Each structure stands twice: as structure tokens, then as C-alpha cells.
Amino acid sequence: MNTHNSEPIIVAFCCHYCAYAAADLAGSGRLQYPPNIRIVRSPCTGRLEINFFMKALEAGADGVLVAGCEEGSCHFKEGNYLAKGRVNTARQLLKEAGLEPERLRMVNVSAAGSQKFAGYVREMVETVRKLGPSPVRTVNEKNAKEERTGAIQ
Ligand code: FES
């Protein structure tokens, strides 16, 4: 249950050729989806390393969405397959660290898949809203507050 007052923040790593184009199309088509995502454009999801996902969570994201081309359609041939493997490994690491693996998800969309993209965003926001704020974000906010108020002994 989310007892945190703020809305979930989702970082969405989108590949330039498909997912970013789908997000752009969703925007220009005025499709409704929650404004909780912060899009980071990447040339290809194959460029994304596990530490990119971890850094996003460490920096305050409650969830991370990795969106690449449909399987078999990556412009760099197998980038999205590499990303799929890295996302699966990262999900395992999150689980071992005591975080919910559902906070990280990979999806595949075509450049024309604006409806599909908007649907994935809605699903991700709903999933993360149910999980509640990331414990990492909560600890970071608490530490920042203590630093501001000088509460650290
Ligand atoms: Fe889209 Fe590789 S170019 S996933």
C-alpha cells in the first residue's frame, strides 16, 4: 500500500528508433497516460547497462521501464535481446537486495505503437503505485531532510 503522498516516479529508457517514436506519437496524438514517466532516450536498449537501471532507482525512481523495438526488429539486430537479458539479471539482483523485481520491466513496441506504449505506461504506474514508494527513495529523502535540518549527529 502506498502511504507516501507523492506520485510514483518512473524512469523510462526508450530506444530512439521505436519506443521513443511511439512515445512521441502518443504525445502528438494526445493519448492519455499518466505523467509519471521521465523519458530517457537511448540509441538502442542494447546500449543500456545494468547499472543504468540501478542508478535510476538509487537516484529516486520508484520504477524503471525499459522500452525497445519489437523482438526481431532492433535496428542494431540484437540490442533488445541483450537488454532483455540484462533486465532479467537486474531483476534478480533487485530481488536479492530485497526490492521488488516488478519495479523493473522491459517492454517492446513498434514506432507506430503509441497505444501500446501508453498502455504499458499505465500498467507500470499502476504496478508501482501498488508496491508503494521505493525504499531507496524513502531513505534518500529522509537523509536529505536530516541533512537540511542538521538532524544528523
Ligand atoms: Fe530499438 Fe535496438 S534500436 S531496441
Higher local confidence (pLDDT), 137 or 87: 87
The answer on pLDDT for 152 being more than 60 is no
pLDDT for residue 1: 40
Burial of residue 43, with CB atoms counted within 10 A of its CB: 0-12 exposed, 13-18 middle, 19 or more buried: middle
Q: Is residue 4 part of a domain?
A: no
pLDDT for residue 140: 76
Q: Is residue 111 part of a domain?
A: yes
Q: Which of 24, 74, 108 to mutate to test the pocket of ligand 1 (most atoms within 8 A of CB)?
A: 74
20 within ligand 1 shell (Cβ under 6 A): no
Q: Could you give the dihedral angle defined by the CA atoms of residues 79, 84, 90 and 94, in that order, rounded to the nearest 10 degrees? A: 150
Q: Is residue 5 part of a domain?
A: no
**43 φ, ψ (degrees, to nearest 5):** -55, -35
DSSP code at position 44: -
Q: Is residue 2 part of a domain?
A: no
**Which residue spans within the chain are E strands per DSSP?**
10-15, 37-42, 63-68, 104-108
Number of structural domains found in the chain: 1
113 within ligand 1 shell (Cβ under 6 A): no
| pLDDT (mean) for 83-101 | 97
What digits encode the pLDDT tens for the residues 50-82? 999 999 999 999 999 999 999 999 999 999 999
Q: Is residue 3 part of a domain?
A: no
What digits encode the pLDDT tens for the residues 13-45? 999 999 999 999 998 888 888 899 999 999 999
Cβ proximity of 86 and 54 under 8 Å: no
The answer on pLDDT for 129 being more than 90 is yes
Nearest to 106 by CA among 130, 94, 95, 90: 90
CATH at residue 139: 3.40.50
Looking at the CA of residue 75, tell me the nearest atom of ligand 1.
Answer: 3
Q: What residue type is 113 in one-letter code?
A: G
Domain with 59, as residue range(s), is: 10-149
Higher local confidence (pLDDT), 1 or 41: 41
Chain mean pLDDT for the chain: 92
Distance from Cα 43 to the centre of ligand 1, integer Å: 7
Cβ proximity of 67 and 120 under 8 Å: yes
The answer on pLDDT for 3 being more than 60 is no
Q: Is residue 113 part of a domain?
A: yes
The answer on pLDDT for 153 being more than 70 is no
80 within ligand 1 shell (Cβ under 6 A): yes
The answer on pLDDT for 96 being more than 90 is yes
Q: Is residue 57 part of a domain?
A: yes
